[in-house]
């Protein structure tokens, strides 16, 4: 237990220092613990160390974990690809959907809310490169998708999410350029939507979350730095 607690504290300390370097308060940055293939017991340890938001890639896996951890006040984020046929289960499981990249997904989530559920909270995932197998809307198509999704009732857009491509021998300077580009798109998306709650820029993972914060991230998704390498 101490090992995970120590790692959580180290990540939080690094987040705080990166926030201060970018002129922001540490509590302006949300830590999302990426927990794919992490057992509920280890998630519980992280929660005991101060983690409040959980990021899961798969709907079925998250459903089982959320049930096991129902006694904890955790916020659940979907950070993996979502298929429309899983929208009903996903809507009942997650509090924020970080990977909406098609109008069909946004509409499916909006339709699946139960009575009194309120609008589905969503981020638009932007494709930053790294092969066409990566999800996300291409930047040039983002304004059109943003307008279309903004018109969907029972869907509230909160911002953008992106993952820089993994390039062999790439430098942190190159990664920073991708973060800067996503920040530009985030600020452009805010224009004309001043009354909306456009407040979340999700970028940065274990290897680069400090650079992401310095570039303007408000939410970082950290898994390996807390839980160690995932089992193969």
Range 2-227 has CATH code 1.10.10.10 = no
What is the predicted pLDDT for the residue at 73? Answer: 97
What are 35-92's pLDDT values in tens digits? 999 999 999 999 999 999 999 999 999 999 999 999 999 999 999 999 999 999 999 9
131: confidence class by pLDDT, cuts 50, 70, 90: low
Give me Rg for the CA atoms of the chain: 17
Report the pLDDT averaged over residues 194-198. Answer: 79
Q: What is the pTM of this model?
A: 0.94
Hey, how many other C-beta atoms are within 10 angstroms of the C-beta on 206?
A: 16
Q: Say whether pLDDT at 114 is over 90.
A: no
What is the predicted pLDDT for the residue at 179? Answer: 97
3 state DSSP class of 155: strand
169: confidence class by pLDDT, cuts 50, 70, 90: low
What is the predicted pLDDT for the residue at 173? Answer: 87
d(CA 154, CA 121): 9
Please, which residues have CB within 8 angstroms of residue 89's CB and are 6 or more apart in sequence? 59, 60, 63
What is the predicted pLDDT for the residue at 92? Answer: 94
């Amino acid at each position: 237990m101490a090992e995970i607690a120590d790692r959580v504290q180290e990540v939080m300390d690094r987040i705080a220092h990166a926030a201060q370097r970018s002129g922001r308060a540490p509590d302006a940055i949300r830590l999302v613990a990426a927990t794919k293939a992490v057992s509920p017991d280890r998630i519980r340890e992280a929660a005991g160390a101060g983690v409040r938001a959980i990021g899961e890639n798969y709907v079925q896996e998250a459903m089982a974990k959320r049930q096991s951890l129902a006694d904890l006040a955790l916020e659940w984020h979907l950070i993996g690809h979502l298929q429309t046929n899983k929208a009903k289960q996903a809507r009942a499981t997650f509090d924020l959907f970080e990977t909406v990249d098609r109008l069909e997904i946004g509409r499916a989530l909006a339709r699946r809310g139960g009575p009194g559920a309120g609008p589905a909270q969503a981020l638009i995932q932007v494709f930053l490169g790294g092969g066409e197998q990566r999800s996300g809307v291409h930047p040039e198509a983002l304004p059109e998708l943003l307008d279309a999704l903004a018109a969907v009732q029972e869907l509230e857009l909160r911002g953008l999410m992106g993952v820089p491509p993994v390039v062999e021998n790439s430098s942190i300077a190159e990664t920073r350029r991708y973060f800067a580009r996503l920040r530009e798109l985030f600020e452009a998306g805010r224009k004309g939507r001043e009354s909306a709650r456009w407040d979340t820029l999700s970028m940065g993972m274990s290897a680069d979350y400090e650079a992401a914060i310095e570039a303007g991230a408000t939410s970082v998704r950290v898994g390996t730095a807390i839980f160690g390498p995932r089992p193969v």
